Amino acid sequence: MTRMDASHTAKRKVLISGASISGPALAYWLHRSGFAVTVVEKAGALRGGGYPIDVRGTAIEVVRRMGILPRLQDAHIDSRRYTFLNADGSIAASVAGAVAGSVEGQDLEVRRGDLAAALYSIVRDDVEFLFNDSIDTLDQSGQGVDVTFRGGRRRTFDLVVGADGMHSSTRESLFGPEERFHRYLGYCFAIFTMPNTFGLSRELMMWNAPGKAAALYAVGDNDELHAFLNFHQPEPPFDALRNPGAQRDLVARVFAGAGWEVPAMLSAMRDADDLFFDTAGQIRMPHWSSGRVALVGDAAYAPSFLTGQGSSLALVGAYMLAGALAANRDHTAAFAAYERDVRGFVGMNQALVDNGAATLFPTTAQALEQRNTMLRSLLTMPSATARPAYSAITLREFAPIS
């Protein structure tokens, strides 16, 4: 048998970089389509933590097809109350949460770690995971992609997919520095957990001053709170992005002198071992692949937390990429189909924050007062109104050819 014949019958080997949301979702669908999948993750284990995230619209159908919808419905967060505070800590507005739990087909809000764990649980036995390692070099000059890993391994794959997030090093090695594709939206945020010494239960409290927001989110009845500090910053602090010490200093400087429980939050941030700091920004690229290497999820099209659509785009994008690869042996045709079918959906969701990104986080006293007046007119928080963008894509059916 010639080498070419062999390559037609052998399982195609795919390396995915990143084991958060889009990586394991892609691994699941590729494995089901007959690929041999390896996932490399730079963290030593699956990363838990992160603020609660939304799964909406078409992404609900994706998790249903993966069989994890019931598990995610059990993990759904039902908040009872949202309280908005003025700079001096007095109440500006208090709005009841949705009373009904989630039912099949409706949007979900779950802890990011719960979604990552659910995805991991359905692939861990079928897919090779290499934790505590990452891609060092990619060489596409031969028949496949020759990969060297930082840990020293060398292997060859038919395809490589970067699912390594907004600051993707796969993207950087293929397409150049992040600055070329990063669209900064004017905010930075820090997220961490802290002890629930305030007796909060299934509720969110958000303190605001112009250009600053501090929120404490009790997602259950347990002892832990999700703390969130968000602030307007005209220029992105690139220096702080890879330096946790500088991130803590920047946040402490911005919120110095703030009222309510902000001083307690700042001191908890100093001790937090799960601090997640980032800019609110988007990744916008003219193409999502180059040769045998493609990008998925935040690495290719992060929409920013202001849209609440990062995980949904990651899930839908992973599904569509796997479907395109299952249907086309030729990776060039598959990557073209993936882009053609997903780009409109991505564009609509990224456009959700083209105007009015500041609705929830106003930067002027006047805009803040307008927001509070609007909130006071609500008796209950509208359950995230289904927007056309959330479902603006038709899922392909899988037609495995391997």
Contact residues: ligand FAD, CB under 6 A = 17-23, 40-43, 47, 49-51, 53, 112, 134, 163-166, 169, 191, 276, 297-298, 305, 310-311, 314
Nearest-CB residue for ligand FAD: 297
Cβ-based nearer residue to ligand FAD, 134 or 140: 134
Nearer to ligand FAD, 109 or 158 (CB): 109
Residue 129, classed as helix, strand or coil, is strand
Neighbour-count burial of 124, counting CB atoms closer than 10 A to its CB (0-12 exposed, 13-18 middle, 19+ buried): middle
Least distance (Å) between residue 112 CB and ligand FAD = 5
Q: Nearest distance from residue 385's CB to ligand FAD, in Å? A: 19
Length of the chain: 402
Strand order in the sheet with 135-139: 135-139, 145-149, 154-157
Identify which of residues 41 and 339 has a Cβ nearer to ligand FAD in the complex.
41
What is d(CA 401, CA 4) in angstroms, rounded to the nearest whole number? Answer: 17
Distance in Å, CB of 22 to ligand FAD, minimum? 4
Would you say 96 or 284 has its CB closer to ligand FAD? 284
In three-state secondary structure terms, 185 is strand
The closest alpha carbon to 206, from 360, 52, 21, 80, belongs to 360
* 93 vs 187, beta carbon nearer ligand FAD: 187
State the nearest-atom distance from the C-beta of 55 to ligand FAD, in Å.
10
CB atoms < 10 A from the CB of 243, how many? Answer: 13
* Distance in Å, CB of 246 to ligand FAD, minimum: 19
Q: Please say which residue, 21 or 358, places its beta carbon nearer to ligand FAD.
A: 21
Which residues 6+ apart lie within 8 Å of 272 measured at CB?
A: 192, 193, 194, 227
Name the minimum Å distance from CB 151 to ligand FAD. Answer: 11
Residues paired with residue 114 on neighbouring β-strands, in sequence order: none
Contact predicate 225/269, CB 8 Å: no
346 vs 22: CA distance, rounded Å: 14
3-state secondary structure string across 255-320: HCCCCCCHHHHHHHHHHCCCCEEEEEEEECCCCCEECCEEECCHHHHCCCCCCCCHHHHHHHHHHH
- How near is the Cβ of 299 to ligand FAD at its closest, in Å? 6
DSSP code of residue 141: S
Tell me how far, at minimum, the Cβ of 221 lies from ligand FAD, in Å.
21
Grouping H, G, I as helix, E, B as strand and the rest as coil, residue 383 is coil
Rg (CA), the chain: 22
Which residue is it, tokens 């299934």?
202
Q: φ, ψ for residue 45 (rounded to 5)?
A: -155, 175
Least gap, CB of 238 to ligand FAD (angstroms): 17
What are the b/e assignments for 303-327, b being 16+ CB within 10 Å?
Answer: bbbbbbbbbbbbbbbbbbbbbbbbb
- Among the listed residues 320, 325, 340, the one whose alpha carbon sits nearest the alpha carbon of residue 292: 325
Shortest reach from residue 115's CB to ligand FAD, in Å: 8
Rank residues 191 and 250 by Cβ distance to ligand FAD and give the closer one.
191
Q: Among residues 115 and 258, whose Cβ is nearest to ligand FAD?
A: 115
Residue number, 168 or 372, with CB nearest to ligand FAD = 168
C-beta closer to ligand FAD: residue 163 or 262:
163
